[in-house]
Amino acid sequence: MQKLLLLGDEAIAQAAIDAGLTGIFAYPGTPSTEITEYVQKSKEAKEKNIHSSWSTNEKTAMEAALGVSYVGKRAMVCMKHVGLNVAADAFVNSAITGANGGLIVVVADDPSMHSSQNEQDSRFYGKFAMVPILEPTNQQEAYDMVHYGFDLSEQMSIPVLLRITTRLAHSRSAVERKAVRKQNELKLPSDLKQFILLPSIARKRYKGLLENQARFLEASESSGFNQYFDGSDKSLGIITTGIAWNYLMENYQDGEVPYPVLKITQYPAPRDMIKKLVDECEEILVLEEGYPLVEELLKGLFSIGLKVKGRLDGTIPRDGELNPNIVARALGLPDTYGQDVPEVVAPRPPAMCPGCGHIDVYNALNVVMADYSGGRVFSDIGCYTLGALPPFNAINTCVDMGASITMAKGAADAGFVPAVAMIGDSTFTHSGITGLLDAVNENSPITVIISDNSTTGMTGGQDSAGTGKIEAICLALGVKPEHLKVIKPLRKYHDENVQIMKEEIAYQGVSVIIPRRECVRTLDRRMRAKHLKKEKK
Amino acid sequence: MKKDIILAGVGGQGILTIAATLGLCAVEEGLYIKQSEVHGMSQRGGDVQSHVRLSDKPINSDLIPTGKADMIISVEPMESLRYLPMLNPEKGWLITNSKPFVNISDYPDINNIVAQIEQVKNHIILDAEQIAKDVGSPRAANIVILGAASPFLDLDYGLIEIALKKLFGKKGDDVVNLNLAALKAGYDFAMKNR
Helix, strand and coil in chain B, % to nearest 5: 45, 20, 30
Within a domain: residue A529? no
Closest CA to B31 of B176, B179, B152, B153: B153
Task: Find out whether A294 and A269 touch, Cβ atoms under 8 Å.
Answer: yes
DSSP track, A45-88: HHHTT-B-PPPSSHHHHHHHHHHHHHTT-EEEEEEEHHHHHHHH
Residues of B in contact with A391 (CB under 8 A): 105
Q: State which residues of chain B have pLDDT below 70.
A: 40-42
Q: Over 90: is that where the pLDDT of A430 sits?
A: yes
Q: Are A162 and A12 spatial neighbours (Cβ–Cβ below 8 Å)? A: yes
Provide the pLDDT for residue B42.
65
Q: Where are the alpha helices (DSSP H) in A157-222?
A: 166-169, 199-222
Residues A519 and A354: their CA atoms lie apart, in Å, by: 11
Q: With 90 as the cut, is the pLDDT of residue A485 above it?
A: yes
Best mutation site among A36, A344, A384, A524 for testing chain B: the one with the most B CBs within 10 Å? Answer: A344
* Residue among B38, B41, B109 whose CB faces A458 most closely: B41
User: Is A75 in the same domain as A185?
Assistant: yes
Cβ distance A101 to A202 under 8 Å?
Answer: no
- Considering only alpha carbons, which residue of chain B is nearest residue A335? B66
pLDDT at residue A141 is higher than 80: yes
**pLDDT of A537 strictly over 70:** no
Instruction: pLDDT band for A144, please (50, 70, 90 cuts).
Output: very high
Structure pTM? 0.96
Per-residue pLDDT tens for A33-49?
999 999 999 999 999 99
| Coil/strand/helix, residue A33 | helix
Q: Residue A128 falls within a domain, yes or no?
A: yes
Q: What pLDDT does B72 receive? A: 98
Could you give the angle at which helices A271-280 and A199-222 cross, rounded to 10 degrees? 50
Q: Is the pLDDT of residue A274 over 90?
A: yes
Closest CA to A92 of A149, A130, A58, A133: A130
Same domain for A18 and A136? yes
- Rounded to the nearest angstrom, the minimum Cα separation between B115 and chain A is 10
- Sorted by sequence, the CB contacts under 8 Å of residue B187 that are 6+ apart come out as B147, B148, B150, B151, B157
B contacts of A243 (beta carbons < 8 Å) = 62
In chain A, residues with a C-beta closer than 8 Å to the C-beta of B89 are: 337-339
Residue B41: predicted pLDDT = 67
| Domain limit, last residue, from A190, A222, A254 | A222
Residue A171 has pLDDT above 80, yes or no: yes
CA distance, residue B2 to nearest chain A CA (Å): 12
A512, A480 contact by CB (below 8 A): no
Q: Tell me the shortest Cα–Cα distance from B85 to chain A, in angstroms.
A: 4
Contact A339 B105 (CB under 8 A): no
Query: Is the domain of A253 the same as that of A317?
Result: yes
Look at residue B123 in the predicted model and tell me its pLDDT.
97
B89, A171: Cβ pair inside 8 Å? no
Which chain A residue has the Cα nearest residue B113?
A: A344
**DSSP count for chain B of H helices, then E strands:** 7, 6
In a domain, residue A342? The reply is: no
Inter-chain touch A348–B61, beta carbons under 8 Å: no
CA-wise closest residue to A374 among A311, A435, A420, A326 = A420
Interface probe for A, chosen from B17, B50, B62 (most Cβ of A below 10 Å), is B62
DSSP A235: T
**Does B79 lie at the interface with A, CB-CB under 8 angstroms?**
yes
Strands A446-451 and B2-10: unpaired
- Among A173, A206, A222, identify where a domain stops: A222
Mean of the pLDDT values across residues A473-488?
98
B156–chain A Cβ distance below 8 A for any pair: no
Specify the CATH number for the domain of residue A313: 3.40.50.920
Q: Could you tell me if A204 and A291 lie in one domain? A: no
Tell me, what's the pLDDT at B11?
82
Q: Are residues A33 and A95 in the same domain?
A: yes
- Identify the residue with better confidence: B38 or A487: A487
Q: Please judge whether B32 and A174 are an interchain contact, meaning their C-beta atoms are less than 8 angstroms apart.
A: yes
Please indicate if any CB of chain A lies within 8 Å of the CB of B173: no
**pLDDT at residue A531 in the model:** 84
* Å between B80 CA and nearest CA of chain A: 10
Please give the C-alpha separations between residue A499 and each of A116, A375, A417, A487, in angstroms, as whole numbers: 35, 21, 19, 11
d(CA B72, CA B69): 7
Q: Do the domain assignments include residue A534?
A: no
Co-location of A167 and A297 in the same domain: no
Q: What is the homologous superfamily of the domain B2-193 according to CATH?
A: Pyruvate-ferredoxin oxidoreductase, PFOR, domain III (3.40.920.10)
The domain that holds A453 is classified in CATH as 3.40.50.970
ipTM of predicted complex: 0.94
Residue A376: which residues within 8 A CB-CB, separation 6 or more?
A: A369, A396, A411, A416, A418, A419, A420
Q: What is the gyration radius of the CA atoms in chain A, in angstroms?
A: 25
Q: Which helix (H) or strand (E) holds B21?
A: helix B15-29
Please check whether residue A212 lies inside any domain of the structure. Answer: yes
The pLDDT score that the predictor gives to residue B138 is: 87
Domain range holding A267? 227-330
The reply to whether residue B65 touches residue A328, judged by beta carbons under 8 angstroms, is yes
| Count of CB atoms situated within 10 Å of the CB of B189 | 20
Of A295, A435, A381, nearest in space to A80 by CA: A381
Residues A279 and A378 in one domain: no
**Residue B75: phi, psi to the nearest 5?**
-95, 10
Contact B31, B56 (CB under 8 A): yes
Q: What angle do CA A66, A71, A76 make, to 5 degrees?
A: 40
State the sign of the Cα–Cα–Cα–Cα dihedral A326, A332, A335, A340.
positive
The yes-or-no verdict on residue A445 having pLDDT over 90 is yes
- Give yes or no: residues A265 and A142 share one domain: no
Q: How confident is the model at residue A248 (pLDDT cuts 50, 70, 90)?
A: very high
Are A58 and A207 members of one domain? yes
Cβ separation A342–B81 shorter than 8 A: yes
**Whether residue A174 sits in one domain with residue A235:** no
Quickly state the pLDDT bin for A444 (edges 50, 70, 90).
very high
Beta bridge partners of A107: A79, A163
A14, A143 in Cβ contact below 8 A? Answer: yes
> What is the average per-residue pLDDT within A480-497?
98
CA gap A221, A128 in Å, rounded? 20
pLDDT for position A533: 78
Give pLDDT tens digits for A81-98.
Answer: 999 999 999 999 999 999
Q: How many domains does chain A have?
A: 3
Report whether A84 contacts A125 (CB < 8 A).
yes
Q: Are residues A30 and A10 in the same domain?
A: yes
Mean pLDDT, to the nearest integer, of A252-272?
Answer: 97
Per-residue pLDDT tens digits for A101-129:
999 999 999 999 999 999 999 999 999 99
Residues A138 and A175 in one domain: yes
Mean of the per-residue pLDDT values of chain A: 97
Structure letter (DSSP) for residue A462: B
